[in-house]
Amino acid sequence: MIEITIIGSSGAIPAYGRFPSCQYVQAANRYFLIDCGEGAQMQMTRFQIPYHKIQRIFISHLHGDHFLGLMGLLFSMHLQKRSAELHLHAFKGLDDIIITQLKCSNSSLNFTIVFHPIKEGSTQVIYEDDALTVETIPLYHRIACSGFLFKEKPKPRKINKERLPQGILLQQIIALKDGHDLIDANGIVSYKNEELTLPPPPSWSYAYCSDTAFNLTIAKQIDGVDLLYHEATFMEEEKKKAIETFHSTTADAAHIAIQSNTKKLIIGHFSARYRDLDPVLKEAQEIFPNTSLAIEGQTFKIGS
């Protein structure tokens, strides 16, 4: 199961109690933060999110509303005696910003930050373990910007205990889970894999796309994603403004969801001009009905 908790959903300016971009992602017992806008640690305290568990932080781009909460979070981790290293994935420049702030405040951290620079304009796997991969999604914004695609790896087949023959060995069970048939001493197939196993549980996926102008090229990369977060800074009546600022409208986000065969869409990064978000949601749902608002404090679960 993948869980995404919305910490901040506002655009460039905090408005109507909404904070700038930030999300907490739990996947395969790993803990990640995507973007870290102003007030992120206050929001995590408010929603009882254990930020000491965060192992990696992914920053989409270097506009302030996506990283200005980072230094406060790092210092809080320091004051709470964090010792585990923290991996930070971002475009080159954020490392200089952190070093400068530490230098000018004559400060040092208890823990090590491992910085992983993101390559501009390319798709690359930036994190991988035995259960999960995270890859970059090149976005089209005023400066270098990247989305992030979380994908669970294929899971092993499940053993059908009711059909297991007596005396089967542990190594044979492992082979079955890996999808192999059972071979006897003479090299003959004694049991086909599908005779003794059940299909594996599904592997889930989540795509985060903010900030970006309308960009259909991402649809192929995220095709079939279970859950898509896509910015929808403006409603369609502000289409010209969206184009000028390299942002998307509600309709843009909905069309990306359709073209990528997304199962569910979340929209966020709302402009401060919208106090009431109901019309924003309705406009997107007219095109892609299975759309929800990124409401702060809400957790979206994939595979529950």
Condensed to tens digits (0 to 9), the pLDDT of residues 18-37 reads: 999 999 999 989 999 999 99
Report yes or no: 67 and 36 within 8 Å, Cβ to Cβ: yes
For the segment 277-283, the average pLDDT, to the nearest whole number, is 98
Residues 32 and 52 in one domain: yes
Residues 149 and 167 in one domain: no
Q: For residue 181, give Cα distances in angstroms to 22, 193, 255, 264.
A: 46, 5, 44, 37
SS3 of residue 163 by DSSP: helix
At 187, the amino acid letter reads: G
pTM exceeds cut of 0.85: yes
Residues 17 and 135 in one domain: yes
Residues 84 and 172 in one domain: no
Higher pLDDT, 70 or 154: 70
Residues 99 and 165 in one domain: no
Residues 6+ apart with CB under 8 A from 277: 270, 293
**Cα–Cα distance between 286 and 280 in angstroms, integer?**
10
Alpha-helix residue ranges (DSSP H) falling in 124-184: 170-177
**Cα–Cα distance between 248 and 8 in angstroms, integer?**
18
End-to-end CA distance of the chain: 6
Residues 132 and 211 in one domain: yes
Q: At 256, which CATH number?
A: 3.60.15.10
Give the pLDDT confidence score for residue 176 in this predicted structure: 82
Q: How confident is the model at residue 66 (pLDDT cuts 50, 70, 90)?
A: very high
Among residues 64, 107, 59, 68, which one has the least CA distance to residue 87? Answer: 59
Among residues 33, 59, 58, which one has the least CA distance to residue 47? Answer: 33
Higher pLDDT, 146 or 162: 146
Residues 133 and 8 in one domain: yes
Among residues 153, 150, 151, 87, which one has the least CA distance to residue 118? Answer: 87
Residues 213 and 163 in one domain: no
Residues 100 and 175 in one domain: no
SS3 of residue 291 by DSSP: strand
Span 216-244, pLDDT tens digits: 999 999 999 999 999 999 999 999 999 99
Number of domains in the chain: 2
> Which domain, by its residues, includes 188?
158-198
Given a cut of 80, whether residue 304 has pLDDT beyond it is no
Q: Is 65 labeled as catalytic in the residue annotation?
A: yes
Given a cut of 90, whether residue 170 has pLDDT beyond it is no
Residues 31 and 83 in one domain: yes
Q: How confident is the model at residue 165 (pLDDT cuts 50, 70, 90)?
A: confident
Report yes or no: 208 and 269 within 8 Å, Cβ to Cβ: no
Q: Strands of the chain (E only): list them.
A: 2-8, 22-27, 30-36, 56-58, 86-90, 113-117, 125-128, 132-138, 146-152, 158-159, 182-183, 189-191, 197-198, 205-209, 227-231, 264-268, 291-293, 299-302
For the segment 72-94, the average pLDDT, to the nearest whole number, is 97
Give the pLDDT confidence score for residue 38 in this predicted structure: 96
For the chain, the average pLDDT equals 94
- Which of 65, 211, 226, 252 is flagged as catalytic? 65
Residues 279 and 241 in one domain: yes
